[in-house]
Structure 1
Amino acid sequence: MSGKRKAMIPARLVRSGTLLRIVSTFKGAPCGRLPRPMLSRMNGDLAAGADRGTAAAQDNARPVVDTRRLPVRRRAPYAVSPSIGPEGARACLELIEAGHRLFTERGYHATTTTAIAEATGRSDAAFYQYFDGKQALFLLLFENLGRDLVAQFAALPPIAATPAGLAALREWLAGLGAVLNRHSASLLEWPTPDEADEEPSENPQEAYIARLAGAFRDRLPHADFAGLSPRAVALVVTSLTAYGHFVLDVRNRGLRTEATAPAVLDDALSRVVHRSLFPDAYPARKPGRPGGPGGVHPPARSAPEQLPGLRRPVTRRGHATIKKITEAAIATFEARGLAGTSVNDIIAAAGVAHGTFYTYWADRAAIVATLTHQAAEAVLAHLATLLDAGSTAELGAWLAGWLDVVADHGPVLHVWAADIVDEPLLQPLGIEVDDRLRDVANRLLADSPVLDGLDENARTTALWTVLAELPRSAWRRNPVLTRDEVLRAQTLLLARGFLGWPL
């Protein structure tokens, strides 16, 4: 890819009138929920699957649903017969495939039943003959994700603390990545608000998680989980694989050189996971400040009243209102995505009047500008101190502070990358953040034997996935892990897996 290098994370939003030129980016057609390369793989492009072997390529080509699980009876009222024959089954399958495509392109909340029906040339009435709403269709897709994950985990071979064990783990992770890519819409959009409120005993994901945990317990009997449960380790590996490829797709869009192949990331992740679980199979390294002396100086933070996106200077009395509305916006973006969130949704979540919102921001684009700038500054400030950690204890303390950054800004960082990374006016700060991230990754991992020989993009992708996407996905958005479990997992992966330090 030629031309100016783009950023993994978007850029500093220009002030004053120039900022308003980006409004059209957030209006009109729904923003894509997944990066384009990931979309192409999900829609039948087997080129990426070929990098993972014939079996993975064939897996990508399978339908997103098991036809044996389709409805067998129409919902009332029906025109002639409640039974679903061959033509009805074909219509139902087309609706499911259209829903999967639209959930992928637009997100769950920005997709309507009317849009799904129209994508197949049918009416709403035809849709409701098979499903009582889009949630029922989405749950069918999620059940198929669970089915395929259980099958993939059942195929996990025994993993030993040997080169052959590492090779087996790498091959299995490639297959897991293929499954997760094919079901990315279900994975990235789960849970919808209704499922998020369910008790664990009623949440359909719990039955699948129990089987994934059982596979890890049985196939890795000699692994050192460092106090984490097999359930937690299985979820960590699944999250790293799924969101590692999401991050890689975003980063590949901004490279001037040839894109990093998914197989290279599979190699990096398998090395990190294997060393984390089998530390005695590798030479131990003495902890010390990574990258030598001399840390990275944190940037100056903007005053709250000077943040981009604000339409007027903010007085001291307005700071509490700004904080209330921005926190509500972040929570709404996490639950609904950018395309599914309107100004009215933010106002309702914040419990303020419309006039209060419009006192500070002109529209949704403006508040996104404010949030992305805040997120970038928080990331830059905390990354600047990572290289000062010279022991496992200091690394754990740094990670504890980093989780506060993720808790405050993780949804914005994800929306930023997923939905608006290509906006030209958002590039300068994004390049600054990306340069800082690559610099820290290179210095942190300069002497790491685990990632020796891997390209810079794969190393940086693996690090960012562990730092940002793992806690955002498995702790904040879909809390299948506790904060303590995520912190222990990050410490395990970063200390043992990346650096080779003892715990």
Structure 2
Amino acid sequence: MSETPITRRASYGPSSPEVGSRGANTRSKIVEVSLDLFAEVGFFNTSVDAIAKSANISRATLYQYFPGKDEIFLELLDECGRALFRVARRIGPLGPTDVGFDNLNWWLGEWSWVFEKYSTMFVQWTGVASSDTAVRPEISRFLGGYNQRLADRIKSSNVEGLDSMAAAMTITALVHRMNLFIHTDRAYGRDIQSIVDAMSVYLQLFLFPETPGSVLSSLPLRTAGKSFIEVPVPPSTDGLTIDDRISGLSKRAVNTVRTLVEAGAVQFRQKGYHRTSVDDIVEEAGFARGTFYKYFSEKQDLLVALSTEAVASTVDHAERIRHIDPTSTDETELREWLVSFAEFSSHYSGSIDAWAEKSIGDNIVSELGAYGQSVMDDALLSVLTSRQRDYPFDPEVSAMIFRAIIARVPQASQELPEPLSRDESIDLLVACIQRGFFRHAK
């Protein structure tokens, strides 16, 4: 083998004068097939070799245009980000008026159109952003800029009782999560327009709880949702729960299993399921690889164990919220529940994110996720339907909105330039619930 080092030429960027028309076509083809592969098998399961093969080029040729698949993802992210900014620039004046509500509804519809066009990117965005890739800082940078633009619009609209940046973060988090539900088949078959219309009503009241019912009835909204959630039969988890796995083990072995489970939860949360290896888990736990394989057949087996535990906690939280009145002047119970749910969501966030993945390879994970989601939505729907309303209201979609808020906003509040404290985050959640669902503002 030659001792002469191999020198890779600088990559051809989109504006490179050297790329030429042929090169531009090649670059475009790489991006196009990458998007298809990300949709088919997911970002983490897509290799550079697979991209090169699909584009009918060599691996070396691909590297002349992109250093790796992270950079391809970033180019796609930049493209859909520019589309979102174009929509944001066209937001009209907001307010508790017919015109303000119409502008909000239009904007959410345009946002969902962009999301649908780039659905693959936004669906993959969640998993990629939660892992330790070069993409995560760029996603954070984009969200910071986008939230600032929304915050400026909110501030100019004289919204009262809300910090403009916190409100913008909440809107971005909610809209992204609801669109994610649509494009990962977790919206109970509801169409985009019905979800846009329900979000319009919610966000109008979140920003302007004083909005008259006549304003909310001024548009032909599609809000005829069901007042119940069909909860599927849970999958059998015999022998898969953590309690089943530790039954009959010595006290030392029980502690080992629980340490491995906790290490898995930590690593899945910090790096995402796909970026976490068995080596990462055993290093976190302080054990050897052999110890892991003594109790779990593979990483996915640990994910199943964590998922059974997460669903059990979901069912417990669902039962508790059924007995809480969010409009009570004594907010103690609601706040305690929100703190508990935020801690639960944070602890199991890596496992919960994996529930929506279509490339996990184990149906029981997605089935557990669908069951847990439905149980929670049914409980939240019962809370929401305890009050009569004089404006268009979609109970089914509103329950999804409720879950999206309590699951995502606490996480998003920590991604702000100045992260919210726990008490500030809970204050924001209470405002989200009381203002948006019950038109109550302090």
Residue 261 (structure 1) aligns with? 191
SS at match of 2:176: helix
Residue 351 (structure 2) aligns with? 412
1:436-478 superposed Cα distances (whole Å, 9 cap, x missing partner): 3243123211144569655553223212211223434x257x6
Residue 396 (structure 1) aligns with? 335
The alignment status of 1:85 with 2:15, answered yes or no, reads no
CA distance in 2, matches of 1:267, 1:422: 35
RMSD over aligned CA atoms reads: 3.5
Aligned ranges 1:74-473 → 2 under 5 Å: 83-181=18-116, 182=118, 183-185=121-123, 187-188=125-126, 189-190=128-129, 192-195=131-134, 205-206=140-141, 209-210=144-145, 212-218=147-153, 220-224=155-159, 226-228=161-163, 230-251=164-185, 255=188, 259-282=189-212, 307=242, 310=245, 313-334=248-269, 337-390=272-325, 391=328, 393-394=331-332, 395-419=334-358, 425=364, 433-448=372-387, 454-472=393-411
**In the TM superposition, what is the alpha-carbon distance from 1:207 to its structure 2 partner?**
6.3
**In the TM superposition, what is the alpha-carbon distance from 1:153 to its structure 2 partner?**
1.4
CA contact (8 A) 2:268 2:350 kept: yes
Unaligned runs of 5+ in 2: 1-11, 214-236
CA contact (8 A) 1:371 1:412 kept: yes
**In the TM superposition, what is the alpha-carbon distance from 1:119 to its structure 2 partner?**
1.6
Q: Which amino acid aligns with 2:14?
A: L
CA distance in 2, matches of 1:179, 1:111: 24
CA distance in 1, matches of 2:43, 2:359: 18
CA distance in 2, matches of 1:137, 1:358: 36
CA distance in 2, matches of 1:204, 1:307: 35
CA contact (8 A) 1:149 1:176 kept: yes
CA contact (8 A) 1:170 1:267 kept: yes
Unaligned runs of 5+ in 1: 1-67, 74-82, 284-301
CA distance in 2, matches of 1:149, 1:97: 20
TM-score, normalization: structure 1?
0.69
CA contact (8 A) 2:198 2:394 kept: no
CA distance in 2, matches of 1:421, 1:204: 23
1:306-329 superposed Cα distances (whole Å, 9 cap, x missing partner): 626738644333444334322332
CA distance in 1, matches of 2:361, 2:212: 41
Distance change in 2, residues 1:455/1:100 (3 Å)? same
**In the TM superposition, what is the alpha-carbon distance from 1:407 to its structure 2 partner?**
1.1
Residue 55 (structure 1) aligns with? none
CA distance in 1, matches of 2:365, 2:49: 33
CA distance in 1, matches of 2:249, 2:175: 43
Count of aligned pairs? 397
Distance change in 2, residues 1:115/1:306 (3 Å)? closer
Q: Specify which structure has the bigger relative contact order, considering alpha-carbon pairs within 8 angstroms and separated by 6 or more residues.
A: 1
Q: Which amino acid aligns with 1:276?
A: F
Q: Which amino acid aligns with 2:242?
A: L
CA distance in 1, matches of 2:430, 2:371: 26
Same amino acid, percent of matched pairs: 21
The alignment status of 1:492 with 2:436, answered yes or no, reads no
Q: Which amino acid aligns with 1:70?
A: P
**In the TM superposition, what is the alpha-carbon distance from 1:206 to its structure 2 partner?**
3.1
**In the TM superposition, what is the alpha-carbon distance from 1:494 to its structure 2 partner?**
1.0
CA contact (8 A) 2:129 2:136 kept: no
Q: Which amino acid aligns with 1:84?
A: V
